[in-house]
Amino acid sequence: MSQESFYKEISEAIVSLDREKAISFAKKAIEENMNLLDVVEKGFGAGIRRIGELWEEGEFFLPELMLGGNIVQESMEILLPFLKANKEDIMSGKVVIATIEGDIHSIGKTIVATMLSANGFEVYDLGADVSAEKIINTALEKNANIIGVSALLTTTMIGQKKLIEILQDKGIRDKFKVILGGAPVTQNWVNECQADGYADNAIEAVKLIKKLMD
């Protein structure tokens, strides 16, 4: 089977909410030593995004969206530790990352955190639904170089801007590079927030941080 058709099968298993198949594909990918980041992004990520579209089109309802999210989350728990094992091109630098307050979407943020950690960064992943204050206090405490803030909802994106405003008000904006992420984030939004950049996926996030650390 070609890689592309394997990714397609994974995506189809997610869309059919077939937990067992999804888990067995995750295990197969590890056993066969595949490129796990591609498996995550092109297989599981594609599947969950398709579920989001079907939900938007009214084909799926909230319980299906939630079940799909759980299946992907569970598959990620199997895959991500193996992604970590592939350390190469070690970088130094500390990153505090979280999904902003009011937003419980965690899958994409966790993938980014894992990829950064696999690239040698010291990563503090605070999880989802985290207040700007907590993110900033952790960044200060850990003496972080980078703060990464994820938001998947148009209603919670404003929290990304608020976090930067708090840094400005405290006079500590220059202490950190702040990068944004999540499906609704655009370059315009980055400009409006006066953030230092954004990335559409985990590979771009690693490249962006390496550039900012130079």
Binding to ligand B12 by CB under 6 A, coded x per residue (else -) over 141-170, reads -------xxx-xxxx---------------
Distance of CA 93 to the CA centre of its chain: 18
Per CB under 6 A, 105 contacts ligand B12? yes
C-alpha count within 13 angstroms, C-beta hemisphere, residue 194: 10
Q: Which of residues 50-79 bind ligand B12 (CB under 6 A)?
A: 51-52, 55-56, 62, 65-66, 69, 73
First to last CA, the chain: 41
Q: Positive or negative CA dihedral for 33, 39, 44, 45?
A: positive
Token pair in block for residue 47: 């599947």
Q: Cβ of residue 66: shortest distance to ligand B12, in angstroms?
A: 4
Q: Which residue is closest to ligand B12 by CB?
A: 108
Report the residue from 118, 123, 193, 205 that binds ligand B12 according to the rule CB under 6 A.
Answer: 205
Per CB under 6 A, 100 contacts ligand B12? no
Report the residue from 106, 114, 117, 119 that binds ligand B12 according to the rule CB under 6 A.
Answer: 106
Which region, judged by CB under 6 A, interacts with ligand B12, from 7-15, 23-31, 95-103, 116-124? Answer: 95-103
Report the residue from 181, 193, 195, 196 that binds ligand B12 according to the rule CB under 6 A.
Answer: 181
Per CB under 6 A, 22 contacts ligand B12? no
Q: Cβ of residue 13: shortest distance to ligand B12, in angstroms?
A: 15
Q: Which of residues 113-142 bind ligand B12 (CB under 6 A)?
A: none
Per CB under 6 A, 38 contacts ligand B12? no
Q: How far apart are CA 10 and CA 163, in angstroms?
A: 37
Is the CB of residue 126 less than 8 Å from the CB of residue 55? no
Is the CB of residue 164 less than 8 Å from the CB of residue 177? no
Q: Which residues contact 92 (CB under 8 A, 6 or more apart)?
A: 120, 121, 122
What are residue 26's phi and psi, to 5 degrees?
A: -60, -45
Q: Exposure of 175 by Cβ count < 10 A (0-12 exposed, 13-18 middle, 19+ buried)? A: middle
Per CB under 6 A, 49 contacts ligand B12? yes
Is the CB of residue 127 less than 8 Å from the CB of residue 155? no
Query: What residues line the site for ligand B12 (CB under 6 A)?
Result: 41, 45, 48-49, 51-52, 55-56, 62, 65-66, 69, 73, 97, 102-109, 111-112, 148-150, 152-155, 179, 181-184, 198-202, 205
